[in-house]
Structure 1
Amino acid sequence: MCFNTTPYPSSSEEGDRPLTWDAMDVMYARYVNQKPMLDKPAKWYLLQRLLEYADEHKGQVSILELGAGRAYVIKKVLEQFPNLRYVGIEPDPVSAKYAQEQLAGFENAKIVHSLAYNQNQPIAEQDKFDLVMSLSVLEHVKDLKSFFAFGAAHTKPDGAHIHVYDLGHALYPSSLKEKLQVAVCNSVLRQYIPENKIARYVPLEEVESICGAHNIIIEQVTYHNMPSHVSWLKKAGQEELMGLITDLEIKMAQKMPPGLDKEKLFPSVCVWGHVRGQ
């Protein structure tokens, strides 16, 4: 169950030609009436891909979200595909309660207040899903190996995986306290830190290695959320340009080699893949 790995939307019309003002006008017209919108390119792009995925399967899919947060993104998907089955696991009690209230009107949606990997088995061992996802979670996970093992164990053969994670805490700490927190969480001392205090740098190589160990085949990695773009979109209120900015960021990142310079420019990383069929 693989993803369409072209930028959103397909860049086949423009090819590799440089963007002219006329081309930008055409692309702007394509996006200007697009709804719903979110406040950052990575979230917006995730939403579009989820909507495409659900539409391709006529809404008859099941989604497991590891770290549901307040369920902002999935609510927008459920509003268009109310028959979709969704289970979100959220360890924070306040966020879990809010998410439950958000999704109260959807019969097939459920929020479980728990860690996404623990001995209590927050969902039935035999419960499998078409798609397993996480949004801004990996950088806050204490044990990524157990996290991915849990996700893979609850994925149907050839089921999809999406993991969007942020490097902003590590690359752009907002305070000395956060800088020290990241330094500790990046060290061997992480094992002594409570789960709800984890904020760390997550190398793509680590994600690739763990995914490989659990038969998760990575098809595509995209980079998003250039800080200046995020700041401009928020201050200018130009949400209708989100698609144009997203497409531009993906194309720019594709031309850069992997490494810290790329991550500093685009501190949100999206990993798209699937579990190898058994």
Structure 2
Amino acid sequence: MTAGAPGHFKATWMGVTTILFDDGETSVLIDGFFTRPGLTSMALWKVGSDEKIVSHCLQKAEIDNRLKAVLVAHSHYDHAMDAPLVCHKTGAKLVGSESTRLIAEGHGLLPLDQTVIIKDGDVLNFGNFRITVFESPHSPGDTSPGQISSPLQTPCRFTHFKSDKCYSFLFEHGKHRVFVHPSANFTDGKFQNVRCTDVFLGVGVLGKQTTEFRERYWEETVGMMQARRIIPVHWDNFWKQVGSPLEPLPWPFDKWSVTIAWLREKAAVTGVEIHIPKLWEGLDFD
């Protein structure tokens, strides 16, 4: 991407909560999960990064040494597994929890000064992107809670990727304020002082929750931040390989039909726009 007008950037969704923010001079990536092991491999065997797949995806997304940071939402494999390899290939900083740092240490690819451990309230600056960190809970039903206690050697069982702390991020760039909320959960009043126009809203497993939970989730995120547009993320079947047709997570893992019907109902009532992203297609912020 070539540099555009001041304040202009693109956000490109690449599945789950892998999102690239790029203004033509600087880029920042959320998670960077590309390997996407199949369900059988995940459930019965071990998971680890596939360098060939990661390299292909970096090239497809035009991710190069302009990438300054990979912000890891939490340390489950579908968020953190490929991040150290992405940073190794681009020189970007790996930004996340202590568990994310231990995943990188297990890879053995990054020097210590290429990792950054963050906490709630931190403010990060990369080029013209100003990013505020918010700690927020994982979505209900965390299959691998806790912290990683020692360098994580991969391949390993997916359950070894403990979630540790979970983060959301407010991106500010020119006049734009875009929020990335990867996990479908909330803390009462957490975002009462946050205002944004757009939210990349994690909706994974939301279809399995009660109506009351979904309503509270909306109120504590989209409603509280007074967002005008939401982009649902983390609803796709991440056991499908890169290049496969896009499809939602199947039952019994989620109920996408319930989620999307509810989102459309909320949009109709509140006037909030819903944009269903397409894989690898940039969303312009002018």
TM tier, shorter chain? 0.3 to 0.5
**Does 1 or 2 have the higher relative contact order (CA < 8 Å, sep 6+)?**
1
**Please, what TM-score do these two structures have when normalized by structure 2?**
0.39
- The structure with more helix, counted as a fraction of residues: 1
- The structure with more strand, counted as a fraction of residues: 2
**Please, what TM-score do these two structures have when normalized by structure 1?**
0.40
